[in-house]
Amino acid sequence: MFPRTRVLPTRPALPAWKVILPLLGAAALGWGAYSWVTRPVNPAVQPAARQGTAAGDWATLKTFGPRAPGTPGHDRTLDWAQAQLTALGYHVTRDAFPLEVWTDGGATVAGPGGLTVTGRALYGSQGADQQGALVAVSGDATESQVDALDLQMKLVLTHCPARPWGAFAADLIDQGAFGEAIIDDCARPPALSRAPATPLPMLVLDRAAGTALEAHLGQTVTFTARTGTHTVQAGNLVARRVQGQPQVIYGAHLDSVPGAPGANDNASGVLAVLDLARRAAGTPDAERAWFVLFDGEELGLTGSRQFVKTYAYPMEQTRVMINLDMVGVNAQPLGVAATEDLLPLIRAARPGLREFEDDPQSTRETFGRSAGPTGLSDHAAFKAVRIPAAFLHRGVDRQYHTAQDTALNTALVQDAADAAWTIGQAALAAPFTPRPECGLTGRDCH
């Protein structure tokens, strides 16, 4: 036997709610205070910012260099534009998203007798090793001339193609070619054109390498191309007043293609959007418009597609989205492509604008086969969710997507901004019924 220990009576534990409720209360208070302190507020309009001009902005912007995502010029442009828009009194957010960009890992050709030449991979190609007989095809060959050739399992060598390189490469692949090497002996730099998404080696060689390889026509050689992708940070800049509604959205893409300074395509649109933001700054118009600089336009309208998903709900208020792309060089007089519902309003507001049709298949990957980039711009993402959209554009100039896209005319930029402003004002003055709520996905907007 051992003595039983007696349990002493203890105080009952505090009921859980007595602990949890005060804690919850304190957390709610803390959260409330935190939200209040960190709530978005409108920055003050800086008088100096309102004195800016498109010419002054261009003098700064062009010093940043090309704006391909992942390059320093791109990031500096984002920082600079954000500062400009903030100084104009807008609350600016940078809506970041990852973007996959293509990378060149180099290319080689190997053959009999110790032949080795090196070059680079064709932009957008997917790289591989292929062996085959080397044949020559004229760079001037038209699509129908290429279609008449039998290139089954051949490796093609060609001088500077007269057509966009991507389209030319696609025709060769369609005829059964296992790869191609382009000798870059072009009289002027060719426009950047994306290679077909086929895992075959597509190479670009300089003159000397091309000449060395030409001595081996008819022999069996091996083409090797190494390509890859890497992920970079991209981001749309969205400038608005904190309570401002996107009744009008003015937009332009700020990215450029690799190797092109992108003056007309599309520093011109960026300058126009800054000009519009400046006109509205400090006036009631600022509360009714959003100003957006899209990223990743050149990589498949990535930024604008992202935007329409993110802002489906406030866009029930959107009367018009106005996209400015390539408005600083007059390949043609200023033109507009707009959704049917907007045309009467645009004709009345700005008579005499050249009207054009944008590409109805703008969402399809065309590998440069379409007649031009017309229609392949950010307004297409808005049209796709049934938002009235107008695209202001001066046609495709000779410098398009080349290293020579270095100049623009700020008077033309100004004129395009005038047209955008006039159309925006007319849309704000017109009767409007908000569209039914879109829902989070934007899928119900139709």
- Asked if residue 266 binds Zn ion (CB under 5 A), the reply is yes
- Asked if residue 325 binds Zn ion (CB under 5 A), the reply is yes
The answer to whether the CB of 278 falls within 8 A of the CB of 319 is no
Q: Contact letters (x/-) for Zn ion, 268-307, by CB under 5 A?
A: ----------------------------------------
Q: At its nearest, how many Å lie between Zn ion and the CB of residue 252?
A: 8
The DSSP code for 88 is B
Q: At its nearest, how many Å lie between Zn ion and the CB of residue 253?
A: 6
Q: Which is nearer to Zn ion, 158 or 323 (CB)?
A: 323
DSSP element (H, E) containing 235: strand 220-240
| Pairing, β 155-159 against β 179-183 | parallel
Count of chain residues binding Zn ion (CB under 5 A): 3
Q: At its nearest, how many Å lie between Zn ion and the CB of residue 297?
A: 6
Distance separating alpha carbons of residues 16 and 23, to the nearest angstrom: 11
- Asked if residue 265 binds Zn ion (CB under 5 A), the reply is yes
Q: Which is nearer to Zn ion, 325 or 359 (CB)?
A: 325
Q: Which is nearer to Zn ion, 111 or 296 (CB)?
A: 296
Distance separating alpha carbons of residues 261 and 404, to the nearest angstrom: 7
Q: Which is nearer to Zn ion, 238 or 376 (CB)?
A: 376
Q: Which stretch binds Zn ion (CB under 5 A): 36-44, 89-97, 235-243, 258-266?
A: 258-266
3-state secondary structure of 320: strand
Distance separating alpha carbons of residues 201 and 221, to the nearest angstrom: 12
Q: Which is nearer to Zn ion, 121 or 322 (CB)?
A: 322
Tokens of 154: 């051949």
Distance separating alpha carbons of residues 137 and 172, to the nearest angstrom: 9
Q: At its nearest, how many Å lie between Zn ion and the CB of residue 125?
A: 22
Q: How many helices (H) and strands (E) does the chain have?
A: 12, 13
Distance separating alpha carbons of residues 195 and 202, to the nearest angstrom: 8
Residue with tokens 């934007």: 442
- Asked if residue 359 binds Zn ion (CB under 5 A), the reply is no
Q: Which stretch binds Zn ion (CB under 5 A): 26-34, 168-176, 261-269, 353-361?
A: 261-269
Contact residues: Zn ion, CB under 5 A: 265-266, 325
